[in-house]
Amino acid sequence: MTSNNPSDTLPVLGFIGLGIMGAPMAGHLLAAGYAVHLHTRSAIPETLLQAGGLPCSSASEVAQRADIVFLMLPDTPDVERVLFGADGVAQGFAAGSPGGKTVVDMSSISPVDTKVFAQRINALGASYVDAPVSGGEVGAKAASLTIMVGAPQAAFDAVLPMLQKMGKNITLVGGNGDGQTCKVANQIIVALNIAAVGEALLFASKAGANPAKVREALMGGFAASRILEVHGERMIKRTFNPGFRIGLHQKDLGLALQGAKSLGLSLPQTAGAAQLMQVCSGHGLQNLDHSGLVRALEIMGNFEIGD
């Protein structure tokens, strides 16, 4: 007899890493009717359990139970540990039948290490997709994330319906590692734009102009940008509660500079933005939203926007 339950025809999913970004992303998959096995290093959010999320005690258990395992973790070592450490995804695959299974890493990590991780997962008979995102907490909650994918075409096609539940602008950039390379490029652009907006608003404010009015005027001209719109408002209103933390963006710029060194490139503006983030970290501000990068400029200038 054919089942009338749509969930019976859908792949079983796993989601590991349920922080600021991961929790709402997993929530969208649950809302779409997928069975989702959950694991995180802290307590699983009650909202996900109430929505039908299935708690697991380890990444290995998730990998045994799920057809497709999503990761949303802070940094490269975290992904390596969850994939290949004790009670990790690879161990779960080995204990079961990894053929036809897939890892989808939505973290922002090293492109070089991603290629190695993909080879190790492929060697187990499973597929690997790197699919880092842009859009922050707001995009995660609104299911409007930009998703940059590195994967073979067949693996991309298989996971696309799930990615469409979490994002809107989804692009297959190339093979494994290319999604992460694209994300690093994204983070360069975002950081430099935040720094530019911070310098402009700080300059205007110190010169005696109303920074809110300056931002309003600039939004109607060639300087208009999403960064000026959203993060410019944060700088003026002093709302630096994290959507994407300075410490994480600093990590991403470190990946950019490491990659540039290996490629024989100079990225002077990226290096400058990284130094501004280091100023923030040195003053204990690494957990602010990355729009708080303006605090480094304010500290150096001994003046705050709106003073």
Annotated active-site positions, please? 183
Residue with the two structure tokens 């130094």: 275
CB 289 within 8 A of CB 242: yes
Q: Which two tokens stand for residue 43?
A: 């307590």
State the Cα–Cα distance between residues 129 and 57, nearest whole angstrom.
24
Q: How many residues are present in the chain?
A: 307
Buried b (16+ CB within 10 A) or exposed e, 83-121: beeebbbbbbbeeeebeebbbbbbbbbbbbbbbebbeeb
Phi, psi of 14 (to 5 degrees): -130, 150
C-alpha separations of 238 from 228, 242, 289 in Å: 14, 12, 10
